[in-house]
Amino acid sequence: MTVTLADVAARAGVSSATVSRVLNGNYPVADGTRTRVLRAVDELQYVVNGPASALAAATSDLVGILVNDVADPFFGIVASAVQSEMGGEGAMGAGQKLAVVCNTGGSPERELTYLTLLRRQRAAAVVLTGSAVEETAHSTALTDRLRHLAASGTRIVLCGRPPLAPRNGTGEEPALADDGIVTLAFDNRGGSHRLTAHLLTLGHRRIGYVTGPAERSTTRHRLEGHRRALGEQAPEALAEAERLTVHGGAYDRSAGYDGALELLRRAPDLTAVLAANDTVALGVCAALRDRGLRIPEDVSVGGFDDLPFAADASPALTTVRLPLYEAGARAGRLALGLETPPPGDVATVRAELMVRASTAPPAPR
């Protein structure tokens, strides 16, 4: 059944004229009223400018790229690569799209709001980058919005995210192929496993770990890969893993700095520290140097992502390389319909271990 402007007005407890003013933005409306109207629009999945059925085959030239932090090199590289695919002459007129980068600031609510706005604009495609928020209510709302977008003709690509849970369950199962939602998932578990295995092979057993935000899927997957490697190669180290893990920081330098200091407080004799990403690793290195420790002679350090500065750090950072630009470009082609989706609409982007000067065997003690 088609949702009308009157339905939204009734849900929000305002007049149809007020709803129109909020959606058109052409007349002052009180903040509280605007909030009620937009909430009703989201809850009813109202589509501006006509019923959804009339828009199913009428998408615009707009492509939305959702990022957590446009200033973070990780997201900047991916967004740049997606956008690079928008200006070419694609098959069947798919080229020359307008790519709009939507910066969520890591806010789940803002992510949902952008998806609603992109649906109103009849976006031709939406690319969501980076990790997903692992919270049931948000996951349900996100899945609902993405499937409504896909049903109205918008191509959806998840780049660096796990697949959506299928309609008939939850967990790590692939998304249903009939959703038309394509996933390019990064191998965060495998990459973290290889990095930890590298340190264990060098002889490290007291390995600290500084995680990222607790609610993010990337944080959990990378920590799981780390713990799996410990369990396979050094069960005695796994027994101490929780004590040597600092949880819940941001993906930034200050989290790495504070996390390293906390690890040194807990275990002054640790011989290595792994970080949630390369930016966190820079903070770890700074804290170690401020405490008079040498890298890697006293403490080895490893990161994740292989951002451009990693090879130029001093010492050069051992890390896990994700092919961010290549993955972003592929996401762009998939968003334009210029590349055939992978089997089952899900592909895993492999991570590669980059061994550099920041890791070495532990010094005899």
pLDDT per residue as tens, the chain (365 positions) = 678 888 889 999 998 878 877 776 656 778 788 888 888 887 887 876 544 433 444 578 999 999 999 999 999 999 999 999 987 544 444 557 899 999 999 999 999 999 999 999 999 999 999 999 999 999 999 999 999 899 888 999 999 999 987 654 444 444 334 467 999 999 999 999 999 999 999 999 999 999 999 999 999 999 999 999 999 999 999 999 999 999 989 999 999 999 999 999 999 999 999 999 999 999 999 999 999 999 999 999 999 999 999 999 999 999 999 999 999 999 999 999 999 999 999 999 999 999 999 999 999 87
**pLDDT at 44 (0 to 100):** 85
Amino acid at 30: A
**pLDDT at 52 (0 to 100):** 42
User: Among residues 185, 187, 182, which one has the least CA distance to residue 338?
Assistant: 182
Contacts of residue 255, defined as CB under 8 A and 6 or more positions apart, other chains included, come to 210, 212, 249, 276, 280, 283
Q: In the structure encoding, which two tokens stand for residue 323, read together?
A: 């092919």
Can you name the CATH fold of 55-186+323-351?
A: Rossmann fold (3.40.50)
Using CA atoms of 57, 158, 184, 173 in order, give the dihedral in degrees to the nearest 10.
Answer: -100
User: How far is residue 247's CA from residue 244's CA, in Å, rounded to a whole number?
Assistant: 10
pLDDT (tens digit, 9 = 90+) per residue, 254-263?
Answer: 999 999 999 9
Q: Is 337 left (phi over 0), alpha (psi -120 to 50) or beta?
A: left
Phi, psi angle pair for 250, to nearest 5°: -80, 170
- CA-based max dimension of the chain: 77
pLDDT (tens digit, 9 = 90+) per residue, 322-339?
Answer: 999 999 999 999 999 999
In angstroms, the first-to-last Cα distance of the chain is: 73
**pLDDT at 1 (0 to 100):** 60
User: How far is residue 333's CA from residue 138's CA, in Å, rounded to a whole number?
Assistant: 28
Q: In the structure encoding, which two tokens stand for residue 35, read together?
A: 């909030």
User: Among residues 40, 51, 52, 31, which one has the least CA distance to residue 7?
Assistant: 40
Relative orientation angle of helices 108-120 and 136-151, to the nearest 10 degrees: 10
pLDDT (tens digit, 9 = 90+) per residue, 206-258?
Answer: 999 999 999 999 999 999 999 999 999 999 999 999 999 999 899 999 999 99
Length of the chain: 365
Q: In the structure encoding, which two tokens stand for residue 242, read together?
A: 């929780």
**pLDDT at 40 (0 to 100):** 87
**For the domain bounded by 1-46, which CATH number is listed?**
1.10.260.40
Cα atoms in the 13 Å half-sphere on the side-chain side of 257? 8
pLDDT (tens digit, 9 = 90+) per residue, 349-363?
Answer: 999 999 999 999 999
Cα atoms in the 13 Å half-sphere on the side-chain side of 38? 20
CATH 1.10.260.40 maps onto the chain at 1-46
**For the domain bounded by 189-322, which CATH number is listed?**
3.40.50.2300
